[in-house]
Amino acid sequence: MHKTEFQKVYEEGVKRVGRLLVVYLLTADDMARAVVASRKVGGAVRRNRAKRLLREAHRTGILARRDEVMGLRARFFPDPEPSAAADQTADRVGGGGLWVVLVARQRIVEATSREVRAELDALLTH
């Protein structure tokens, strides 16, 4: 993912803020995932720890299951207008993917992997 693609997700995507992390979602043709840990999280050790926790939560949580992803698309991105049915079908044929950006917050370093996964799933299903 390039810098301009991050900007696109931040500006056009859906944002959910939790106690340990922030998640951005955006519909796309393919599946993609990125993890972000800024210098506010800490030094290189703490940033790596945060990114590993986010990857593990993404791998073991509901984002890894394809049927759940389709449900998330329907929940967070309802059809804006019925007249665009042609575009919607074309989009679905094109892959029906989802771009996900996971951003670490400072308190994630003290958390366990189960807590991170539970919060990510909760942010996506509530």
Partner RNA sequence: AGAAGUCGGGGAGACAGUCGCGGGUCUCCCAACCUCCGGUUGGGAGGUUCGAGGAAAGUCCGAGCUCCACAGGGCAGGGUGCUGGUUAACGACCAGGGGGAGUGAUCCCACGGAAAGUGCCACAGAAAAGAUACCGCCGGGCAUUUCCGGCAAGGGUGAAAUGGUGAGGUAAGAGCUCACCGCGCCUCCGGUGACGGAGGUGGCAGGGUAAACCCCACCCGGAGCAAGACCAAAUAGGGGAGGAUGAGGUGGCCCGCCUCGUUCGCACUCCCGGGUAGGUCGCUCGAGGCCGUCGGCAACGCCGGUCCCAGAUACAUGACUGUCACCGUUUCGGCGGUAACAGAACUCGGCUUACGACCGGCUUCUCACG
Partner RNA sequence: UCCUCGGUAGCUCAAUGGUAGAGCAUGCGGCUGUUAACCGCAGGGUUGUAGGUUCGAGUCCUACCCGAGGAG
Binding residues vs RNA (CB under 7 A): 1, 3, 34-35, 43-45, 48-49, 51-53, 55-56, 59-60, 112-114
Query: Which CA distances in Å does 118 have to 57, 58, 66, 114?
Result: 8, 11, 18, 6
- What's the closest the beta carbon of residue 68 comes to RNA, in angstroms? 17
| Nearest distance in Å: CB 84, RNA | 31
**Full strand arrangement of the beta sheet holding 32-36:** 14-17, 21-28, 97-104, 32-36
- Which CB atom, from 98 or from 116, has the smaller least distance to RNA? 116
Q: Which is nearer to RNA, 45 or 93 (CB)?
A: 45
The helix (run of H) or strand (run of E) holding residue 99 is strand 97-104
The nearer residue to RNA, 64 or 74, going by C-beta atoms, is: 64
Distance of closest approach, residue 32 Cβ to RNA, in angstroms: 10
Structure-token match 């892959």, residue found? 95
Q: How far is the CB of 79 from RNA (least distance, A)?
A: 32
Residues paired with residue 34 on neighbouring β-strands, in sequence order: 101
Closest CB to RNA among residues 92, 114: 114
Give, in degrees to the nearest 5, the angle at Cα 67 between 96 and 87: 25
